[in-house]
Amino acid sequence: MRVSSDVIYSILLRYDNQRNKKIERATLELSSGKSILKPSDNPIDFARSLRLNRLSEKLERFNRNISVASSYLDSAESFLNSAVNTLEDARVKFIQLLNIGALTKEDAKTLADYFKSIRNYVLQLGNEKEGDSYLFGGVKTQAPPFLPDGTYQGSTQETTVPVAPGVETNTNFNGEEYFAVNQASGKVLAVEVLDRVIEIVNSGDLNRLQTDKITVNLGGGNKEVSLLEAYDMALSKMSQYRSILGTKQKVLKDLETQNESINLKLKDLNSKLTDADYPKAISELEKAKTAYQALLAAISQVQGLSLLNFLK
């Protein structure tokens, strides 16, 4: 049976198309660095790669949240630390005052001004911002959480962000807890005590520093205590929450390291699934090129076929 030149030419063109596809495929693998270019290449590994990418993106979002939350925690700890240190310094003056029988008017004014500056500074720290948001107002971030008299008008509800699977941390803080607000009065307890001390100093009756009582409720019910005891309760609670902020910072750093480590492993696994095998791809490209060149030569020979070639 005679095979026409058209049939031969058609067969050669079909092989030409196949060789072109192989060359194109190898070229794309080498240029993209990926062995899976579309789902049909390997449906199972393609699906696995998608899942790994989603997990990796989630971990990267967690670490972005950690970066933001760390900034808020650093600022909150710095402000609260300053408040605690300032109140601890003022306590020394308070103790000295308890052991003084009387004050001159000049000394009384100096001490009253000193304690007033301390109470104002503590409230200023409680009303500090991170960016445009008040740190210690809970979810009420657009208004100062503490009034000039020490009353807390912020929220007890806090905003949190996810930083790891099942783990969240603060981006704002409940000032009622962190600044030891006296639930019996609604005011910062340390400020409330200092206001009483200022009043007593101005009155000249220093015996009241020993005898006056104040109703305190820091979450365990009302109790009547001395001014110094109330002051120490406020300091203790604020110091406790300062430690909590430090602990949260450490946890965030550990989580950030853990997230980065897991993400690196996910990327490595994804790379093994989808990255091109360069030596193999180069070899396939060279084979395809050689076959293509041979095919072009064959096509050229077919195009040159004529009965005259067989006549002698």
Q: Is residue 41 assigned to a domain?
A: no
Strands 167-170 and 160-164: antiparallel
Residue 2 domain-assigned (yes or no):
no
Kindly state whether residue 250 falls inside one of the protein's structural domains: yes
Q: What is the pLDDT along the chain (312 residues), one digit of tens a residue?
A: 444 555 555 655 565 566 566 566 556 655 656 656 555 555 776 678 778 889 999 999 999 999 999 999 999 999 999 999 999 999 999 998 988 877 888 888 999 999 999 999 999 999 999 989 999 999 999 999 999 999 999 999 999 999 999 999 999 999 999 999 999 999 999 999 999 999 999 988 899 999 999 999 998 899 999 999 999 999 999 999 999 999 999 999 999 999 999 989 988 887 776 554 445 555 555 565 565 566 566 556 655 555 445 444
Q: How many Cβ atoms are within 10 Å of 44's Cβ, its own excluded?
A: 9
Q: Is residue 31 part of a domain?
A: no
- Split into its structural domains, the chain has a count of 1
Question: For residues 169 and 210, is the Cβ–Cβ distance under 8 A?
Answer: no
Q: What is the pTM of this model?
A: 0.76
Assigned domain for 81 exists: yes
In a domain, 274, yes or no: no
Structure tokens at 42: 């390997």
In a domain, 78, yes or no: yes
- pLDDT for position 1: 45
**CA pair distance 82, 22, nearest whole angstrom:** 69
Domain that residue 239 falls in: 55-267
Report yes or no: 141 and 158 within 8 Å, Cβ to Cβ. no
Distance CA 56, CA 266 (A): 7
pLDDT of 310 reads 45
Task: Return phi, psi of residue 171, to 5°.
Answer: -120, -5
Query: Distance (Å, rounded) from C-alpha 14 to C-alpha 253?
Result: 60
The answer to whether position 277 is within a domain reads no
CATH number where 75 lies = 1.20.1330.10
